[in-house]
Amino acid sequence: QPLAITNQDEIGSLIGGFNRLLETLAQREQALSKSESRSRAIIDASPVPLAVSDANGNVTYLNNAFVQAIGYTSNDIPTLAEWLPLAYPDPQYRQWVSDNWRWNLEKAECTSTAFAPMEINVRCKDGAVRTFLSSTSSVEKESAGDYLVILYDITERKQDEEKIAQTSEDLRQL
């Protein structure tokens, strides 16, 4: 709370400076809150499934597109340890995804390059398997270990490619 200035002396000047500092801090806090709300609204409006995890393996954020496409909410998958067996029920495939994800992440960090996108098959909450082109990047340098995971659904494209390959094989056999 701003302090009342009772005298126009050095103490009054000091209190006035303190009050101006409080006002500046309040304005910055308001601007930061507005910026954060705007950023969250943009991320929530994205049609691409997005998730954020922290250095401890906690899933800290899922956007609306993630929940709609895959079906899991933050309550279903509070950690990566709980996500992995749900998304990749086959232990061998889960290990392959984990190993390749880790390798791509280490390579990206060591070479200061982008994470090489991976094509992965994810079992959704409703039991359907969808194919995603997935990638990740560090959220901020200040929050080491926080990663944004981007999942681009390519299920229909993969199905179309399989139909074209089958048609080509059928034509070749004819």
> 22-47, pLDDT tens digit by residue?
999 999 999 999 988 888 888 888 99
Predicted pLDDT at 55: 86
Predicted pLDDT at 2: 82
List, in sequence order, every residue forming a beta bridge with 79; answer none if it has no partner: 58
Residue 17 gets the label, from left (phi > 0), alpha (psi -120 to 50) or beta, of alpha
Q: In the block, which residue shows the tokens 């990740």?
A: 136
Contacts of 50 (CB under 8 A, 6+ apart): 43, 61, 62, 63, 65, 66, 148, 149, 150, 151
Where are the alpha helices (H) located in the chain, listed in sequence order? 10-45, 64-70, 80-87, 91-111, 155-173
**Does the structure show a pLDDT above 90 at 109?**
no
Lowest mean pLDDT among 57-71, 80-94, 140-154, 159-173: 140-154
**Does the structure show a pLDDT above 80 at 141?**
no
Task: Answer for the pair 83, 107: CB distance below 8 angstroms, yes or no.
Answer: no
What's the pTM value of the predicted model, to 2 decimals? 0.76
